[in-house]
Structure formats: C-alpha cells, structure tokens
Amino acid sequence: MPSAESSNSSPVHSDNETTQTAPEIADSAAEKATFSSIGVMKQLCEACDKLGFKAPTDIQRDAIPWALQGRDVIGLAQTGSGKTVAFALPILQALWDNPSPLFACVMAPTRELAYQISETFEALGSGIGARCAVIVGGMDLISQQIALSKRPHIVVCTPGRLQDHLENTKGFSLRTLKYLVMDEADRLLDMDFGPKIDQILRVIPRERNTFLFSATMTTKVAKLQRASLSNPVKVEVSTKYSTVDKLLQYYMFFPFKRKDCYLVWLLNEMAGQTAIVFARTCKEVLRIGLLLRNLGIEAIPLHGQLSMDKRLGALNKFKSGARSVLVATDVASRGLDIPAVDLVVNYDIPSFSKDYIHRVGRTARAGRSGRAISFATQYDVELLQRIEQVIGKKLDEFPSEKDAILLLQERVNEAQRIAMLELKEVQSKQKKGKKRGHGGGAGDDKQISLSEAKKIGRSGKKHRR
C-alpha cells in the first residue's frame, strides 16, 4: 500500500521498511551530485551533457537512485523542476541493461504533454537506440497502429487512446511492460481518467515498476491504490503545493465588466514579453483570441475543441515566437515546458486551487523568473483567498493605472463587438462542418472508440477542456 502520509524531503519508505539502506548520497555530497554520482550510466550522462544539463536537479538527485534500485517512486516536486528527466533516465538505463520492445508506458493527461515527454525520451535515448511512439487521441489511428506494430520500446500516451488500441489493435498488448509512468499523476488518478486507468491496469503486468510524478499529489490512499504501487518510495523535494521562489505572483482587482479592458492594458504594458492567458471555457478562449487580434495583439488560441493539427500548430507558433500570446483553457495548464514564457495571466481564476499551481507553473521554470497575474472581480474573492491559503502566500496587488485603463474602454468595446460577430461566424461554420461530418477531431482523450471511429470513418468529437 502506498505511503501516502510520508512527507519528508528525502526518500522515505512506505510501510515498515524504515531500516532499508538509503541511496548512496551523503548529505554533504548531495550538493555536488553529478549524474554519474547518482548512478546514471556513461552514455546517458553524455546525453544530459549534450542537452546542457550540468548537474541533476533536486528531484532527479533524490528520485533517480531509488528508481535505479528498482523501487516504485512517488515523486513530488515543483513545476519546472525536471521531473521528466527524473523518470526518463532510470527507464532508459534499465532498457539498456535489458532491451525489449514495449518496455515502458508513460501516461499523460494531455496530448501536447505526451508529445513533449516523448521528445525528452528521444533526446536522451536516441544515442542508445531507444525508440518511442506517441499514442494520443485526435491523431490518425492507422499510423498509430503501424507505429505500434514496429514494437517501440517506449509508448507515451493519453489513457483513452491507449485503451482503444489495447482493445482494438490486433497483436498489440502491454504484456511485456516493465515500467509504467503516470506523469501529472494526481490528474490521471482523478475522476475523469480514473476508470480508464483501472481498465488499463487490468491488462498490464502487476510485476512492473510504477512511477507517479506531479507537482501536486493526492494524499488519498484510495486514489493512489488505483495505481497499484508496490512498496513505493515517496520522494518529495518541496512542501506540498508550493510555487517556486522566482515566480512573482500578483492579483488585479476590478469590476467584472472591465476584464477585457484590463487584459488589453496589461498585455500592452507587457509588450515584447511572452504570455499565456488562461480562461475557463473554449468559447471564451476563442473570443479573447479574436478580441486581442482585433486590437493588434498577436494572440493564438489553444483549447480542446480544436483539431489536433490546430492544437499542435498553435503551440508551435507560440513556442517558436511567431505569436507572443497564447490564450488557452486548462488543456495547457499541466506539464507544458515552454522556456520563454514570461507571464501567466489568469483571466478567469481557476475554480480548483491545484489548477492555479499548474497554470502559474508554466512560467519561472528551471530556475528562470516569471510573473503570474490573476484577475479578481467581485465574484472571485473567495476563490482568490482559497488559492492564497493553499499556496501559503499572500498575493500582491499588481500596480495599475485605472485612468489609463479606462481610456481604452471605447476601443475595447468596438473590438469586442467585432469579436462577437467573428465568433458567431466561426461557430456557425463549426456547426455546418459537424453536420457534414468533419468534426475536426476534438478535445482530449475522451473520444469515440477506435471501433466506433472505424465504423463512421472519422476520429473524434467530444472535448472537455
């Protein structure tokens, strides 16, 4: 049973196994740990070096030795602290020692994150010949079947699509699996994904290693049991739910009807910086994107109702700097690693404090600094207070110039009016498209099954975020 209650800052054993040898890093040496000193083999040390990783981060230093010893690991560390490498290195090393196809499966809650994780595996593992396949919803099924038939070593997936393949792709199974990773584990173990995970776990060998990683972990033993860990080590390098020191967090308080005006003012003030603006619904994301564009701000929307090509396209444009503002739903709140993000704006305050931690964690990553500004209206006071309680910090008020902001109102009104017309046009096009059967492969992983898709010849319809 998982040791959900342990909360030390160094590796801790579950159950009664407190006497087991600790991994070979003495406290004094921990500061100077290198990838080699924590047991990473030469080829992988070289790969880290090529990527510019000079020394392991705290979570890597503390988790990798346990993982190399073959233990199940629950890894809890702040956003941007290098968790991906912490689980990728031990898996690649074990693969090198014992190469076999379909060796590891990494699950992530969003498609974009799955692609990003596979890039890390490829960057670290290509030198040792590791092959990776990405299996996510919204992408062509046949090419995924072909990719799986080539028996990759590592499958990075979203749960729904993996399950479809497990049920419907001839000859594909995970019977040889040695490692299972749940990245953003608390999200994967929650209500939305949980039942799917249960089904997947039924067909995966129980004799395997399991790694759970996140910046926010559930302490509910029942939920962790869902992951069927065996005698896990909990490695925790931050206190529960903390945000990084280099992140400056603010709020702005104003009446609800001024939201757009404040957003436009803020983005103008921050011109030249890269920002992600989070809003609650797909429709709102689309509307804000149109509004900003009407005012000459280069914004691109990302939400679960877009086709997968558009989702990846939007992310790439933002990553490459072709667009400086990404307007997104919570589909972009978990795991995405875009080094250039200077600012996160919570246009809508997230209803769950956990989402706040992940959203603001898109900036100030890997030791960089960043700012997060949350909009609070008369309706959001309680939510804001709850967030402050959870992160254990009071947010500062972001200095603003009310008069200058109100001067923008007229231009914003006009842009809002045009945006609403454009929004209607987009929506009526979408409706027509759907009627003709061009659904555009939507949202996240909760899609029609592979067998259904085969029947009707397309690959998606539902969305959540």
- Whole-number Cα distances in Å, 51 to 85, 129, 279, 355: 11, 17, 34, 30
With CA atoms as reference, report the closest residue to 345 among 368, 331, 363.
Answer: 363
Query: Phi-psi category of 298—alpha, beta or left, where left has phi over 0 and alpha has psi -120 to 50?
Result: beta
Q: Which is nearer to ligand ADP, 95 or 215 (CB)?
A: 215
Residue environment code for 178-209, b if the CB has 16+ CB neighbours within 10 A, otherwise e? bbbbbbbbbbbbbebbeebbeebbeebeeebb
CB of 215 to Mg ion, least distance (A): 8
Q: Is 83 in the site for Mg ion (CB under 5 A)?
A: yes
CB of 15 to ligand ADP, least distance (A): 27
Q: Is 426 in the site for ligand ADP (CB under 6 A)?
A: no
The residue range among 63-71, 120-128, 131-139, 334-342 that interacts with Mg ion, by the rule CB under 5 A, is 334-342
Question: What, of Mg ion, ligand ADP, none, does residue 57 touch, CB below 5 to 8 Å by kind?
Answer: ligand ADP
Q: Is 335 in the site for Mg ion (CB under 5 A)?
A: yes
φ/ψ of 374, rounded to 5, equals -105, 130
- Whole-number Cα distances in Å, 387 to 215, 259, 360, 395: 15, 20, 12, 9
Query: Which residue has the closest beta carbon to Mg ion?
Result: 335
The number of angstroms, rounded, from the C-alpha of 177 to the middle of its chain's C-alpha atoms is: 23
Sign of torsion over alpha carbons 404, 323, 339, 336 = positive
Q: Which is nearer to ligand ADP, 53 or 347 (CB)?
A: 53
Q: Which of residues 37-96 bind ligand ADP (CB under 6 A)?
A: 53, 56-57, 60, 77, 79-85
φ/ψ of 430, rounded to 5, equals -60, -40
Question: What, of ligand ADP, Mg ion, none, does residue 82 touch, CB below 5 to 8 Å by kind?
Answer: ligand ADP
CB of 65 to ligand ADP, least distance (A): 15
CB of 160 to ligand ADP, least distance (A): 22
How far is Cα 278 from Cα 83, in angstroms, rounded to an integer? 23
How far is Cα 380 from Cα 118, in angstroms, rounded to an integer? 38
Q: Is 358 in the site for Mg ion (CB under 5 A)?
A: no
Q: Which of residues 320-339 bind ligand ADP (CB under 6 A)?
A: 335, 337, 339
Q: Is 30 in the site for ligand ADP (CB under 6 A)?
A: no
Q: Angle, to 10 degrees, between the axis of helix 83-97 and the axis of helix 42-50?
A: 140
3-state secondary structure of 269: helix
Could you say which DSSP state residue 131 is in? -
Q: Is 441 in the site for ligand ADP (CB under 6 A)?
A: no
Q: Which is nearer to ligand ADP, 205 or 339 (CB)?
A: 339
Q: Is 187 in the site for ligand ADP (CB under 6 A)?
A: no
Q: Which is nearer to ligand ADP, 130 or 442 (CB)?
A: 130
Which x/- pattern over 43-82 shows residues binding Mg ion (rule: CB under 5 A)? ----------------------------------------
- The token pair at 387 is 């967030």
For Mg ion, the binding residues (CB under 5 A) are 83, 335
For ligand ADP, the binding residues (CB under 6 A) are 53, 56-57, 60, 77, 79-85, 335, 337, 339, 365-366
